[in-house]
Each structure stands twice: as structure tokens, then as C-alpha cells.
A = this chain, B = another copy of it.
């Protein structure tokens, strides 16, 4: 499978595929006699794996680790599990924080439809007691 076909098959750009290879995400990508990449089933599966892991908010660095673990699954179950748990905890934390902000914004917007002098949103950002940290 040519570069072009791989791009069509995955929806990624040639630059992205070459970038993934450059940073060591894709390993052992076969070449034609002239040096062009020939994507085989193995590499395509790696690419799909990367795309799914990205959708799960793993960073490229984490995905590189996951792909390594994938090469020797029996020795690495615990590590994979730990990575997944860390990611889950992070996501939970972010959800919680964002749910809080969403409520806050809703509150300001509600005020906004009622008040008819001043702007409660700007005032909310002016006055709020403590702040949430960064």
C-alpha cells in the first residue's frame, strides 16, 4: 500500500504519517526498492491503534509505550493497566472541573437574562471570592 493509499485509508496526512515514524511511533515501516514507504497490514494496524488511543486522550508518548507493551503483552499487563488508570483519573478530574465551570457559566448566563443593568458575567469575573487555581 502506497503512502497515498495509506493516507486515504486512515484519513491522516502524509506529513503526519512520516512524523509518527520520525518520533518512533511507527516502527519498521517497509520500503520499496526506491525508498518509498509501503504500508503493510501490520503498520496499518499500528496506525489504527494510534488513532483509537488518541481518541482516548493518550498522548503520542503514552501511545508509543502502549505500542511497545503491545509487542510483548504478557509481560506488561500491569503497566498497561496503570497507564489506563492514570488516564482515567485524569479524565475524571477534568470532567469534574469542567462540570463546575459549566455550572458557573450557567449561573452567570441566568443572571444575565434577568438583570437589566450592568453585565453579570463581567461582574462575576470581577468579584468572585477565591478563584479556582490555574
Residues of A whose CB lies within 8 Å of any CB of B are: 45, 48-49, 51-57, 66, 69-70, 73, 76-77, 80-81, 84-85, 87-88, 91-92, 94-95, 98-99, 101-102, 104-106, 108-109, 112, 118-119, 121-122, 125-126, 128, 131-134
Contact of A56 among B49, B119, B125 (CB under 8 A): B125
Q: Give 8 A-B contacts (CB < 8 Å), ordered by A residue.
A: A45-B126, A55-B134, A56-B105, A57-B98, A77-B112, A84-B108, A84-B109, A91-B98
Contact between B121 and A49, CB atoms less than 8 A apart: no
Tell me the smallest distance from the CB of A86 to a CB of chain B, in Å.
Answer: 10
| Count of this chain's copies in the oligomeric assembly | 2
B residues in contact with A126, CB < 8 Å: 45, 48-49, 70
B88 and A105 within 8 A (CB)? yes
Give Cα A57 to B53, complex, Å: 25
Known contacts A52-B131, A69-B122, A126-B49, A91 near B102 by CB under 8 Å: yes
| A108–B56 alpha-carbon span in the complex (Å) | 12
Q: Which 7 A-B pairs have the closest CB atoms?
A: A55-B132, A88-B105, A52-B125, A91-B102, A73-B119, A77-B119, A95-B98
